[in-house]
Structure 1
Amino acid sequence: MDAHKATVGKVRSRIQHYYATKTPFRIYHGSTNSTRHANFDRDAIVDVSSLNHVLSIDAEKRTALVEPNVPMDALVRETMKAGLLPPVVMEFPGITVGGGFVGTAGESSSFKHGFFDRTVLSAEVVLADGTLVTASQSDNEELFEGLRGSFGTLGVLTMVEMRLIPLKQLVEVTYHPTFSIENAMGKLQYHTTSQQNDYVDGILFSKGLGVVVTGQLVDASPLPGLPVQRFSRPWNEWFWIHAKSLARKGIITKELVPIEDYLFRFDRGSFWMGMYAYKHFMVPFVWLTRVLLDYFMHARIMYHALHASGYTDRYIIHDIAFPAGNAGPFVEYVDQTFGTYPLWLCPLRRDGRSSMGHPKPFEDAVGGRQDAGVYDGEYISVGIWGPYPSSETEHVRANREIEAKMRELGGLKWLYSRVFYTEDEWWQVYDKQKYEELRKKFKASSLPTIWDKVKDRGRKEDFGTGLKGLLKRIVKGNSLLSGFYGIYKAVRGGDYMLKKTKSQ
């Protein structure tokens, strides 16, 4: 803890300097799982990238003290040593504890445990004036609740205490084929009512074919002879391709999956986004090429390449949580308007809305019913990720249309993705008065608001001058070359978010 306290002391000192000089700053983590445009100024950041340690685990209390920059794979690895497991583990190994708490992060266990922030018991935070406080449901409760989905706009997170559950080494996974959008939504909601299920999510491969995937934590299968399936080795098939092959059989199928393989089953291929890379580079999308190019197809590498290449502007990328009865109509809209598949379905607990950036309640129609009143039921998140080759103008228009449909149906975006709202539209969805009162109470008015952090800035890249600048313009102006440039930058490694100084 001494090293932690020393680092926090440095963070406090820098924040106090910015507060005294009234200098705006941003919090720098060293990496991101966001697809928004990001470029940090070295002279206006608080660097918390070294806060990346699991400080302690209390096996008896089933709790852990964790710094915010600990990624999911490191967290799982350390808790497993103590015979424990986080209740909610995001599907990409590089997503961090801090991002999960003050951002929006959930997975297939979120129907049971809520978003990741619901697993946090207390938080150590440096406020905007440099004051160090601890917040929980019994101490600074208003701050603790406000930190959910606050994106670092109420203070700088330096440590959390989080809840853990007993470890079991396997997941008994069951694949339930679906044959229509309505059928998929019905099965998804049905399986969340089973107390035996620890994990539930779904994939739609087309309007007429999908799968609801349920999982139960087990140490050994009660059914002898179940096959063991893995997804982490280069020669293992990507999870969604495996699930699609089982769904096509049209029968319920069971298998055993080692716990880490299940938790990070979408890492290889980043769900199915890696498929589009093969198509872009005109490489056959077959098992052998997936094995040979496996290194490039993990989420950490792909996010780095995505930012370097500028491909965020060539894709529609949204996760949107809807009142459960409105998720189906949104999928129908996506099918008719864009025809984008696969789609990811993730059921969420009813408290999910309060974890998502301080929104207003939703009071309009759900499932076709016009009953007045605040919606207080479960949610289903729809992940729509796919290419949309177009001009920037058309790209923005299409995404604004999606956001308009989303608002109509009471949906809320996971704010890792590019936001296309106007500021007026933003504050129609989010509770400005309540949020600003909270910021004022905790002296956070000098920090950027959530809107300041997520509002769309377009892509304004400084290519520089001279021959190097000309070459960069040529590369970024050609989609194939920019793709290779993204791969080069990802393999080379290093920082891809901080602005370079002139001496670099």
Structure 2
Amino acid sequence: MSSVIRAVADTAGLRSSMTGSRYRTGALRQFSTRTIPLRNASALRVQSRRKIMDVRYISQSLAPSPANDAHKKAIEQISGDVRRFYERKEKFRINHGSTNSTRNNAKGKNIINIGGLSHVLEVNTATQTALVEPNVPMDRLVEETLKYGLVPPVVMEFPGITVGGGYAGTSGESSSFRHGFFNRTIKRVEMILADGQVITCSETERPDLFHGAAGAVGSMGVTTLVELQLQPARRYVETTYHPVSGMPDAIKKIQELTEDSSIDYVDGIMFSKDRGAIITGHLTDSSDAPVQRFSHAWDPWFYMHVDSHTQSRSSTPPRFAIPLAEYLFRYDRGGFWVGASAFKYFSTPFNKFTRWFLDDFLHTRMMYTALHAAGMPPNYIVQDLALPYSTATQFVDYTDSYFGIYPLWLCPLKQSPIPTMHPHKEEYEADGKTLKPLLNIGLWGYGKQHDLVKANVSLERKLKQLGGMKWLYAQTYYSEDEFWEMYDRKWYDGLRDKYGATSLPSVYEKVKAAPKGEEEGLSLMRKTLKIWPISGFYGIWKAIQSKSYLAARASTWKDFDRMVKEKEA
């Protein structure tokens, strides 16, 4: 392992700049928020600073550097703006600059922009931790930590998902059967409360807020910095594709494999009701399996690679050595398999040549940008659901008959302590203390139903009937009473009252579906842009304008394994 650290450090030109075990990174970027005029703003700033200085928070311990100084300045500015909204008794929303949610983006005049908080401020190899601003995306985070031979234990598969989004939302990935949701790998959080006060929360300091804000979609405060736990990186994830013959077989295989302490990653794909694969990964520095990549335009999409190698069951499941970062972002190209829907939408041939030719458009950043501009097709479902193992097969029977959507993604999840805003089910193992795991089922694709509202309402009812819950990145069609039947409202409202967050939009206000009549007030231009295929071309145009494709092109994580090889040679 030390050879990997030395190799990458040399390649990055960092060895000569190492001082002890702590390193700092991040370039100074311009930061901006909307300033709200206030008659007694000067006096209010003094009052706000006095209150903030009474509380210790993470930024106060940062050593002087351009990035750290910029962070401190940004925190002062944001906290002042938040305080002014609080004094005016006005609710506001946060603009992060990017999103992987399928809900409507924050719009309106009461917006605070925190898009500039996008730096890794510090990586500490002694404690194996990193101080990270909330808008650092997964690919930039991994690129930075790999320089020191470290990697986050839970990494969201889409490179553009941010650290703050992982904390405020629900992020369960293939390592979550062991580590839990992404927020369970966070040690401390710096947050601006709704009254402008800057505080720190952790397992020992305001633990109720530390756990309660996770999954609460920013309804408790504004996250400005997190201390993230890291673990030693390895060169490869030795990946095995285990064919299964249906959901009962898949669940049995998942239960068996998640008990194996040598396995670091587990997820699965159901290609049909009767055929799928459970995929396991083991971190290693060497492997005799063939090396396989998925990041270049000529590489296969991951799910298609799994499909082609599990068409028939053999005595020896196929194995591949996937470079670590390639594994972590294996679903980026094609967005799992959602990218295939774009070919169907435009009636375009779906083959190796067209995937290669259109590769820039088929990374998740570009697809999300296009989706938000174009809007969701009327019969397209994008939902993540969590169910007990005991009812997961019944749920797939329902989706098979009602939607007919395949593939489906399967991901075993270690539950968070209850109460929580994450999906949960209060069922315990034989010890009476350990919560039973849940199974995340990803349902993404064109369904049989053309009434999107009706389809989602049916889905939510069936999910509730089977003891499941949905991710809140997508809009919810539950009534407010139905929504709070699934969550502990007394606990949630109590936290909001305690930390003065009632001036922020509540979680239900953020995730509820737009009223049915909302489109009636749209201009003729906006209505035209919702017509097929105009909406699709408009989405592509906006995606090109965003230049999101440049982020994928600029990724250096693709070269990590090559850099190690060159140093070893």
- TM-score with structure 2 length normalisation? 0.80
Aligned identity (percent) is 46
Specify which of 443, 448, 463 is matched with residue 406 of structure 1: 463
Name the SS for the 1:445 alignment partner: helix
Contact 2:388 2:468 in 1 (8 A): yes
Contact 2:416 2:424 in 1 (8 A): no
User: Which residue of the partner structure matches residue 473 of structure 1?
Assistant: 527
Give, in whole Å, the separation in 2 of the partners of 1:59 and 1:289. Answer: 44
User: Which residue of the partner structure matches residue 498 of structure 1?
Assistant: none
Mapping for residues 83-102 of structure 1, pairs under 5 Å = 83-102=149-168
Q: Deviations over 1:47-91 (max 9, x none)?
A: 111000000000011000000000000000000001100000000
Give, in whole Å, the separation in 2 of the partners of 1:239 and 1:323. Answer: 27
Give, in whole Å, the separation in 1 of the partners of 2:541 and 2:456. Answer: 29
Whether 1:381 aligns to 2:434 is no
Mapping for residues 114-193 of structure 1, pairs under 5 Å = 114-193=180-259
CA 1:56–1:375: 2 relative to 1, 3 Å: closer
- What is the one-letter code of the residue matched to 2:177? F
Name the SS for the 1:417 alignment partner: coil
CA 1:395–1:291: 2 relative to 1, 3 Å: same
User: Which residue of the partner structure matches residue 95 of structure 2?
Assistant: 28
Specify which of 78, 84, 90 is matched with residue 11 of structure 1: 78
Q: How many angstroms does 1:406 deviate by?
A: 0.8
Give the root-mean-square deviation of aligned CA atoms: 2.1
Specify which of 477, 495, 519 is matched with residue 438 of structure 1: 495
Contact 2:103 2:473 in 1 (8 A): yes
Give, in whole Å, the separation in 1 of the partners of 2:117 and 2:404. Answer: 43
Name the SS for the 1:158 alignment partner: strand
Q: How many angstroms does 1:386 deviate by?
A: 1.0
CA 1:396–1:463: 2 relative to 1, 3 Å: closer
Number of positions where the alignment pairs a residue of Structure 1 with one of Structure 2: 477
Q: Deviations over 1:377-426 (max 9, x none)?
A: 111100011113755xx221111111111111221111111211111110
Whether 1:282 aligns to 2:347 is yes
User: Which residue of the partner structure matches residue 501 of structure 1?
Assistant: none
User: Which residue of the partner structure matches residue 537 of structure 2?
Assistant: 484
Give, in whole Å, the separation in 1 of the partners of 2:342 and 2:318. Answer: 30
- What is the one-letter code of the residue matched to 1:385? W
Name the SS for the 1:476 alignment partner: coil
User: Which residue of the partner structure matches residue 373 of structure 2?
Assistant: 308
Name the SS for the 1:402 alignment partner: helix
Q: How many angstroms does 1:354 deviate by?
A: 5.3
User: Which residue of the partner structure matches residue 232 of structure 1?
Assistant: 295
Give, in whole Å, the separation in 2 of the partners of 1:430 and 1:9. Answer: 34
Give, in whole Å, the separation in 1 of the partners of 2:419 and 2:174. Answer: 18
Name the SS for the 2:502 alignment partner: coil
User: Which residue of the partner structure matches residue 418 of structure 1?
Assistant: 475
Whether 1:493 aligns to 2:546 is yes
Give, in whole Å, the separation in 1 of the partners of 2:263 and 2:155. Answer: 16
Tell me which moved more, 159-168 or 321-330. Answer: 321-330
Contact 2:168 2:214 in 1 (8 A): yes
Q: How many angstroms does 1:458 deviate by?
A: 4.8
Give, in whole Å, the separation in 1 of the partners of 2:515 and 2:338. Answer: 22
CA 1:353–1:341: 2 relative to 1, 3 Å: farther
Q: How many angstroms does 1:281 deviate by?
A: 0.9
Contact 2:302 2:330 in 1 (8 A): yes
Tell me which moved more, 440-449 or 485-494. Answer: 485-494
Contact 1:106 1:115 in 2 (8 A): yes
Give, in whole Å, the separation in 2 of the partners of 1:51 and 1:240. Answer: 34
Give, in whole Å, the separation in 2 of the partners of 1:113 and 1:232. Answer: 26
Q: Deviations over 1:91-112 (max 9, x none)?
A: 0000000010111012100001
User: Which residue of the partner structure matches residue 265 of structure 1?
Assistant: 330
User: Which residue of the partner structure matches residue 454 of structure 1?
Assistant: 511
Contact 2:160 2:364 in 1 (8 A): yes
CA 1:147–1:310: 2 relative to 1, 3 Å: same
Structure of greater Rg:
2
Q: How many angstroms does 1:462 deviate by?
A: 8.9
Contact 2:402 2:448 in 1 (8 A): no
Q: How many angstroms does 1:280 deviate by?
A: 1.3
Tell me which moved more, 205-214 or 449-458. Answer: 449-458
Give, in whole Å, the separation in 1 of the partners of 2:101 and 2:377. Answer: 10
Give, in whole Å, the separation in 1 of the partners of 2:460 and 2:350. Answer: 32
Give, in whole Å, the separation in 1 of the partners of 2:515 and 2:235. Answer: 45
Q: Deviations over 1:303-355 (max 9, x none)?
A: 01111111254311111111222222211211122221100000001337655
CA 1:171–1:475: 2 relative to 1, 3 Å: same
- What is the one-letter code of the residue matched to 1:170? Y
User: Which residue of the partner structure matches residue 565 of structure 2?
Assistant: none
Any stretches of 5+ residues in structure 1 without a counterpart? Answer: 496-504
Whether 1:243 aligns to 2:309 is no
- What is the one-letter code of the residue matched to 2:303? W
Any stretches of 5+ residues in structure 2 without a counterpart? Answer: 1-67, 549-569
Contact 1:72 1:95 in 2 (8 A): yes
Contact 1:360 1:431 in 2 (8 A): no
Whether 1:330 aligns to 2:395 is yes
- TM-score with structure 1 length normalisation? 0.91
